[in-house]
């Protein structure tokens, strides 16, 4: 999987501007809160979608609701990015656990060519065959580009567990993809 991790300043804009926006929202400025949630929504969606799959929009909505409710508790506005990521991943895994995953690997036939609109659907189909925990590790490590220690902290698991889940997730992804 190609890493889509980007520098937080590229993602959020100016750090000072973001900190000011967070502080204003924490003081109850509804316009600032609305702008902050608008900025966060695409990122939250990109995290929740591949983990929670069809429940991704619900997980993203729950994440943004939690951010709205709990923002006053965030002490350091510079920690917003990591705090939101933690909430999004935990919510996406929680939602994904509620939905049974497809395990019928035999029903998977031919992989479409790059650029074929069916490709995104097929990738989601392959992801659906993985456990929520394996999807979360794949997204955080391979899409977000986080190191194993950070992934472990986010998921509240040991680094060794991250490594073994990542190995199994990649292996299972390749096996199903190659069918």
Angstrom distance (rounded) from CA 132 to CA 135:
5
Residue 11 lies in a domain: yes
Whether residue 173 has pLDDT greater than 70:
yes
Tokens (6 digits) for 135: 């999807």
Q: Say what the pLDDT of residue 112 is.
A: 45
Q: State mean pLDDT over 38-60.
A: 94
Distance (Å) of CA 120 to CA 18, 43, 174: 32, 18, 16
- Domain-terminating residue out of 99, 114, 147: 99
Q: Are residues 106 and 121 in the same domain?
A: yes
Task: Look up the domain containing 40 and give its range.
Answer: 7-99
Q: Are residues 70 and 126 in the same domain?
A: no
Ranking 10-19, 29-38, 141-150 by mean pLDDT, the lowest is 10-19
Q: Are residues 147 and 89 in the same domain?
A: no
What's 101-162 look like in SS3? CCCCHHHCCCCCCCCCCHHHHHHHHHHHCCCHHHHHHHHHHHHCCCCHHHHHHHHCCCHHHH
- Domain-terminating residue out of 61, 83, 99: 99
Grade residue 104 by pLDDT with cuts at 50, 70 and 90: very low
Cα dihedral value 79, 74, 21, 50, nearest 10: 60
Grade residue 117 by pLDDT with cuts at 50, 70 and 90: low
Q: Say what the pLDDT of residue 11 is.
A: 46
Grade residue 126 by pLDDT with cuts at 50, 70 and 90: confident
């Amino acid at each position: 999987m190609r890493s889509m991790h980007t520098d937080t300043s590229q993602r959020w804009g100016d750090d000072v501007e973001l900190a000011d926006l967070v502080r204003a929202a924490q003081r109850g400025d509804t316009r600032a809160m609305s702008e902050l949630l608008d900025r966060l929504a695409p990122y939250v969606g990109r995290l929740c979608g591949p983990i929670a799959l069809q429940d991704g929009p619900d997980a993203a909505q729950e994440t943004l609701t939690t951010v709205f409710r709990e923002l006053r508790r965030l002490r350091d506005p510079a920690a917003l990015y990591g705090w939101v990521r933690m909430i999004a991943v935990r919510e996406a895994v929680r939602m994904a656990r509620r939905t049974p995953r497809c395990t019928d690997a035999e029903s998977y036939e031919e992989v479409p060519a790059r650029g074929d609109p069916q490709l995104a659907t097929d990738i989601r189909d392959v992801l659906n065959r993985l456990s929520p925990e394996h999807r979360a590790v794949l997204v955080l490590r391979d899409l977000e580009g986080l190191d194993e220690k950070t992934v472990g902290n986010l998921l509240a698991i040991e680094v060794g567990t991250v490594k073994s889940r990542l190995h199994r997730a990649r292996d299972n992804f390749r096996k199903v993809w190659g069918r």
